Structures are given as structure tokens and as C-alpha cells.
A and B are shown apart, each in its own frame.
Chain A
Amino acid sequence: MAESKKIATRESFGMALCELAKEHDDIVVLDADLAAATKTEIFKKAYPERFFDCGIAEGNMIGVAAGLAAAGKVPFAASFAMFATGRAYEQVRNSVGYPHLNVKIAGSHAGISVGEDGATHQCCEDIALMRTIPGMVVLNPADHYEMIEAVKAAYAYNGPVYIRLGRLAIESFNDPDNYSFEIGKGVTLEEGTDVTVIATGLVVYEALKAVRALKEKGISARLINMHTIKPIDKDIIIKAAKETGKIITVEEHNIIGGLGEAVAAAASENCPVPVYRIGVEDTFGHSGPAVGLLSEFGLDAAGLEKKIAELLK
């Protein structure tokens, strides 16, 4: 395995766009005055003729992306998750989702790990909003290497895709030499028999550390990295339900409408087992350092280890 490095997935996203643009001249990138934050500025510097700042006007940005796609381009439109999916929800639904246009929407600064900006900017509802739009693919990569591959997969897929990006620099735990990404296919990171933990996005690495610590204490937990929330990998969920009898989901998102509910639905319709949802418990976040907030909300490795052990009692 290559030497691990800490990098925010938003940064990986910007790098991935540049990589893709080398080979594909139909890629166009839009931002809404947040290029420095979403890291589309990396693309902007490399391909200024294919970068368009739309100003602080997210609704129009999504509409412009729809028009570009209708005319054969492959636009990636980026903003904070809050604005790309919240402010512009109806534009995404009606101008992108309904005509099933080939628009890729990137929502950066997702979840509470936005940190100091506080609740107005900490979007814990984006996954819920995007997964209810018919035909929308929802991706939530967990580290640098996964983001690079996810962006490539999003480009290769012909249709609307939402990609969730994080602000916080995180450990790159996947093995770049031995990693493949397929939309809709969860990845088993640890085998286990007592319970299956299914995590997504920025908290996958925290869950990995928690599961490994629990193994030391005699709890055999399977860990699945569910980088695609929609279409959800039913097979891997059903297999986990059958083989471990219990599922715990972990997400940096409201437990209403997110990964937990997607997993619970797949399990209850196919192989009903208890599904416990760990996440943001129907509340708003608040200001503070990202790492401190993750700890406060019980979404760091220590909090997850404690909670998983409790749920198994």
C-alpha cells in the first residue's frame, strides 16, 4: 500500500476534473463563486476556457448546466452541498432530473465537518434530497483515491449524478494500486460475523478504526464502505443481513432520509433484521472545529466504537 496521505475529497475532486479534462474536451466546469472552496479552482487554472463562474446564483447555474448537457457537453456544477442541493433543489429536479440530463452536481462542505461556519452551511440533508429524484445517482466517496475513481465513473455514466465532497482533510486508506470503483457496488473493508457496519463518505475511515478496535475486544464486525447511496447495493446488504443478523449504519447526515434509511429499506424488504442508524439525529449542527464536532456528534472512531458496542449489548 502506498504511503497514506491526508487530503480533503474536495481537493481530490478538483484534481480528478483536471485528469479527466486532459482526455475529454466535452467537460465543462461551473461554480457559484466558491471555486476556491470547492476546489474547482484547480480546474479553472488548468482549463480557464472551460470554466464558468456563475456568480452567487445557484439556481441559474444548475439551469445553465442543463442547457450545456442538452447541447452535448458534460458539465460538472459545484457549490456547497447546502446550495447545490438545497437552494437549487427544484432546478435539479425539474431541469436536470426530469429530462435525465447528463449533469454532474458536486456538493462540497457536506455534513457537520464544515466546522466553524455553523448550521447554515452544514448540510445534513443533501443525500435525502438527491436520492428522491428519479434517476439520480448519489455518490459519497470516502477518501482521495475513491473520489478520483468516482469522478471518472460519474463522467462515464450518461445521466445525472450527485457527488458529495468533504471539506476536512482525511486519511486516504484505500490502496491506490489495488482499487476499483463501480457505481452501485459497496466495498467490504473488513470481514466479520457478529454485526455489519455500513458506513459512507468521510466517516468510513472513522468506522474502520472503530471496527478494528472492536475486533481487539472480541467483537467481530463486518465493515462495508457504501460509496453509492443510489442505486444502493442490495446484494451486499442482503448478504450482510443473512450472515450477521444485524446492521448498523454510519453517516455524517441526518438519519432521516440518508444511508440508514436506504439500507433499512433494502433489508426490511428482502431479509428483515434490526438496522440501527448512527448519524446526525434530526438536529442542526453548530459552530466549532470539524474534528471536535465529529467527536461531539459521536461520529469519530471513539464515539462509533462506544455506540456500536452499546447497540450490541
Chain B
Amino acid sequence: MDKSELLELKKTACNVRLWTIEGVFNAKSGHPGGSLSAADIMTYLYFKEMNVDPKNPKDPKRDRFVLSKGHCCPSLYAALALKGFFPTDEIKSLRHIGAMLQGHPDMKHTPGIDMSSGSLGQGISAACGMALAGKLSNESYRVYAMLGDGECEEGQVWEAAMFASHYKLDNLVAFVDFNGLQIDGSVADVAGLDKLDEKFKAFGFEVIKIDGHDFEQIEDALNKAKTVKGKPTVIIAATVKGKGVSYMENQVGWHGKAPDAEQYQKAMDELKAQLKELEA
């Protein structure tokens, strides 16, 4: 990608982060840490990779995205709103009574959400079903899913991995947002996911490891995935939980907590400064 494109993606990701903080602050609850760690990948998917049309969100031929780690929807909502699926104003009522934007993704009421998710381990199975449907219908659409690293402790993730590999779902790409932290502490301390790459390899996946905040690496990985035939691809993305907000970075306490007014201001100031720098 050229420099101007890269710059645009960085700016968009910064806006995604701004709206993520806006949403979680207004909701007075939610999950900023994992939303921020996944923000660059979601930005790339919606603004560079995926064939989606905000004016025709149910197009049968569209690419699909399933946020298996559904609690990180604040940044997905931000990406969808900035892409034009719904007004950004909706984000200010995230998690409020009567709001369109639920605490976890709701495909019935939110344009652009391809699958309701939030109960960990389930989204990846649905993504497999969508990929299988694409094969059955000879459609060329691709299916993207995003798992959390902690989510990979769910047995269903591995049931789905077996299925994806057995049925050769090469139209499926799963990201693992490997930020290293889950609610109870570091993933290594809580349950351990040693050699996650080897685990996926053993399950028959093409495995690509990248820095999940580097757009060029994200692009290269997705391009490589398109050349893989006869098996699904997993992209294990090393990320920083809370990325972009200094006091949230790598802090397990920011997994599922909203900033107070002062913290909100600090986060917005930081992100706006980053945006200003990119615009300069």
C-alpha cells in the first residue's frame, strides 16, 4: 500500500479508537481494552479488505465478519458507523435502554453486524457455517472471524477448528487478537495457551503470525491467506491491550471497565493528539 493509504488507515483507526472511548464512556461500562487492541485489524478489514456496502448490508454476496470475541464490539460499532452503516451518534447511547447498540453484537437490529455473538467460542462456529454456505452456493465471498486469545480456552473454538479444516474452508480467515490478557490476569497465568501457532497448525490451519498494529503486515497476511487453498487460515496477531490510550495499555484492569470523566478526557486528549500528529 502507498504512504497516503497507510496514513488514511492510521487516521481512521485513530477515529475508531476515539469513538470506542466515546461509546464505553457514555455506556459507563463495557470493554475498552480488547476493543482497542483489535481496532487496527477491524479498521483494515472494513476500510481496505472487505467487500461490504453500507447501503446494502444484507447483500448475499458480501464478505462477512464475525466478532467471536463479541464483548469488543465498541470498536466494531465505531468502524461500522465510520463506514456509514449507521450514524456515529448511535454510539453515544451504547448499552442504554432502548438503544440499537447492545452490549454484545445483535445482528437483528444493527446494520452491518453479520452474527450475534458474545458468548465466547460461538462466533467462530457460525463463521464456519457461513464459509460452508459460500462453498455450497459457489459464492466467492470470504468470511473473517476474530477470536480473543483468552477465548481460545473455550473447547468450542477447537471443535470449530477441526470442522474448518476437515471441510477445507479456505474462504475462512480467523484472527486471534493476542493481547496476552484476560479478565483474571495474563493468559499465560490463567490457563496458558503455549504454542498457539502449533496448536492451530496441528488442527490443519495455515498459520501466519503478525504484529496486529502494523497495517502492512495485516495486508500481507490477508493477501497470503487468499493464496492458501484447501485449508483455513489463522492470523495470530500480537497486540497491545488498550492500544492507543497510555494508561490502559497492557493493564488487565481495563478489560471491562469504563473510564470516569477525568480518564475519559485524558484518553480523548491523547487520541486527538495522535490524530493531529497524523494529520500534520
Contact = CB atoms under 8 A, between A and B. Distances in A.
A, B bound: yes
30 contacts: A28-B133, A50-B136, A54-B163, A60-B128, A60-B162, A62-B125, A63-B126, A63-B156, A64-B129, A64-B132, A66-B126, A66-B129, A67-B125, A67-B127, A67-B128, A67-B131, A67-B133, A68-B130, A70-B107, A70-B115, A70-B129, A71-B130, A90-B119, A91-B119, A94-B116, A95-B119, A98-B116, A99-B108, A99-B115, A99-B116
Contacts of B64: 71
A303 to B, nearest CB: 41
A69 interface: yes
Nearest to B157: A60
B134 interface: yes
A68 B135 CA distance: 11
Interface-central residue, A54, A64, A73, A100, by most chain B CB under 10 Å: A64
A209 to B, nearest CB: 44
B118 A95 contact: no
A289 interface: no
B182 to A, nearest CB: 19
Grouping DSSP codes into helix (H, G, I), strand (E, B) and loop, the B interface class, with mixed when no group exceeds half, is helix
Contacts, number: 109
Nearest to B126: A67
Interface of A: 28, 50, 52, 54-55, 57, 59-60, 62-73, 75, 90-91, 94-95, 98-100
Interface in B152-173: 155-156, 159-160, 162-163, 166-167
Contact of B107 (A55, A62, A99): A99
A98 B115 CA distance: 10
A62 B66 CA distance: 16
Contacts of A57: 156, 159, 162-163
B75 interface: no
- Chain A at the B interface: SS class: helix
A309 to B, nearest CB: 49
Contact of B134 (A59, A66, A71): A71
B136 A60 contact: no
A262 to B, nearest CB: 26
Given A57-B159, A63-B122, A65-B129, 17 more contacts: A59-B155, A59-B159, A60-B159, A64-B125, A64-B129, A64-B163, A66-B122, A67-B131, A68-B130, A72-B137, A90-B119, A91-B156, A94-B118, A95-B115, A95-B116, A95-B122, A98-B106
B129 A68 contact: yes
B132 A68 contact: yes
A90 B122 CA distance: 9
